[in-house]
Amino acid sequence: MKLRQILTISVKLKVSFLNKRCISTINNHLNREMSLPRNYFENTGLLKEGHYNLQVGAPGSKDLAKIATYFEAATESLSKSDKRFGETLQYGTMPGDKFVCDEVAKFLSRQYGQTVQSGDLMITPGASMGLLILIRRFTNPDDNMFVENPTYPVFAKYVTADKFIKTVPIPMEKDGMDLKVLQEKLEALPKKEVSKRWPFRALMYVIPTHHNPTGVNYSPEKCRKIVELARKYNLLVICDDVYNALNYVSSPSNPTKFEFSPQRLFAYDKKDDADYQGNVVSNGTLSKIVAPGLRVGWYEAPKRVIDSLQDTYDAVSGGGYNPYVSNLTAEVLKSGKIDEHVQHLRVAHKERMAAVISTVETKLGKYGVTISHPEGGYFLWIKLPENISSAEVLSDSSKNENVTFVKGEIASVVGDFSNYIRLSIAYYECAEMVKGVEGLCRSIERTINLKNRL
């Protein structure tokens, strides 16, 4: 109780502001991405005022408090229609209630600047479960999944460890994965008969837009080639399309009018192609732009995939995924408030990214430290000199600067990138973020100087 009181007294968006629930949330994220014991965060005293946890890929508390008011309003609005409100509590329809699919399609069309068809959507319990449902539906544990190296750290850490599937890493280039390596690996893929129930020989997991952690966007050429390969080798390509609304490119003359993100990979798998089969799924979520606690996401997927997924024990016995909260969410989307909110995120994130990039380059450029310049998303990717490990930096920064981050090697299924650091710009507001990054820069500098002296 004492700790909580102390914490709630303090101001603004320092970690010290967070109450017990948020502490646990962050603690979980720490554990997730740093393989630390569950109570590390509390036991090491990292929660004292002024700690900066730069690894949390989650929206900030102020944003969520605002989102909460939208959900209150949506609940009131739904409750005016007694019957409909009650129905949202019934087993849901598949592939998602029509109202929900329609509102998600309209929202995505506005955010993407391209048409998303309601009929291509299936509602999911968020992208994490969405990914697992796909893996489990279409593969056995001895099947292969091509993944980027580096990739989403939690995926890298858990999916192989959980024995759901074998992962095959493919190096990332500046415009997407290295397709030469991919083709070699595809040629070496074990033979596997495909059938209506098992239409795919292997899976691929990619983050084509505002890639986590590198920030890369896939080039149109790579997108086209991946679709071609997916058709030739019967691959299911699962796109983690969770940052697509968060594009920060705008013209200097109109800095808050943002361009759309590059066209998503799903759109390259054109239904009117002569050799169309349906090989790409856009696995999306509202966690990064509305709220993760909802667990509402969607597949934008080929008919054969949706047909298969809605005829499973999960979908049938449970009566669709999260009918109540997805209906509430659709009410919120319909209100247009999220469009405003996403615009607010773009402005805020762009400012934070620029500030962090500038801080790192100003303070560490002379040491050969580089940082990514992403066009959108949540993450920055720092490259340290080859002889400096992020583990050494983390050891210093957590001890001397109360700063933590994701070590690069956690983003690799084979443990590469030990001299890289991933930062999230989602959680802290700009001034706080910069203070944390300044501490990180001091740690990096100390680590480099120490190494050079040895």
288 scored as a contact of its own copies (CB under 8 A): no
Report how far residue 264's alpha carbon sits from residue 180's, in angstroms, rounded to the nearest whole number.
22
Return all residues near 308 (Cβ < 8 A) that are at least 6 apart: 137, 138, 197, 199
Nearer to its own copies, 83 or 191 (CB): 83
CB of 305 to its own copies, least distance (A): 15
In angstroms, rounded to a whole number, what is the distance separating the alpha carbons of residues 136 and 39?
A: 31
Question: Which lies closer to its own copies via its Cβ, residue 28 or residue 343?
Answer: 28
- Run of H or E including 313: helix 313-318
Give how many residues touch its own copies by CB under 8 A: 77
Query: How far, in Å, CA of 191 to CA of 259, rounded?
Result: 43
Q: How far apart are CA 354 and CA 249, in angstroms?
A: 12
Q: Which stretch binds its own copies (CB under 8 A): 14-22, 348-356, 358-366, 410-418?
A: 14-22
Q: Is there binding between residue 394 and its own copies (CB under 8 A)?
A: no
Of residues 293-312, those binding its own copies (CB under 8 A): 293-295, 312
Q: Which of residues 195-234 bind its own copies (CB under 8 A)?
A: none
Q: Count Cα neighbours of 361 within 13 Å in the Cβ-side half-sphere.
A: 10
Contact between 37 and its own copies (CB under 8 A)?
A: no
The residues in 318-337 that bind its own copies, with binding defined as CB under 8 A, are 318-325, 327
* Spatial distance between the Cα atoms of 257 and 251, rounded to a whole number of angstroms: 7
| Contact set for its own copies, span 374-393 (CB under 8 A) | none
- At closest approach, how far in Å is the CB of 378 from its own copies? 13
* Helix, strand, coil percentages, rounded to 5, for the chain: 50, 15, 35
Is there binding between residue 260 and its own copies (CB under 8 A)? no
Interaction between residue 289 and its own copies (CB under 8 A): no
Rule CB under 8 A: is residue 155 a binding residue for its own copies? Answer: yes
Quote the Cα angle for 38-13-63, to 5°. 90
Which of 132, 267, 354, 434 forms a contact with its own copies (CB under 8 A)? 132
Question: Which member of 7, 15, 46, 67 binds its own copies (CB under 8 A)?
Answer: 67
Helix axes 98-112, 323-334, angle to 10 degrees: 50
Could you say whether residue 65 binds its own copies (CB under 8 A)?
yes
Question: Of 3, 9, 194, 316, which one interacts with its own copies (CB under 8 A)?
Answer: 316
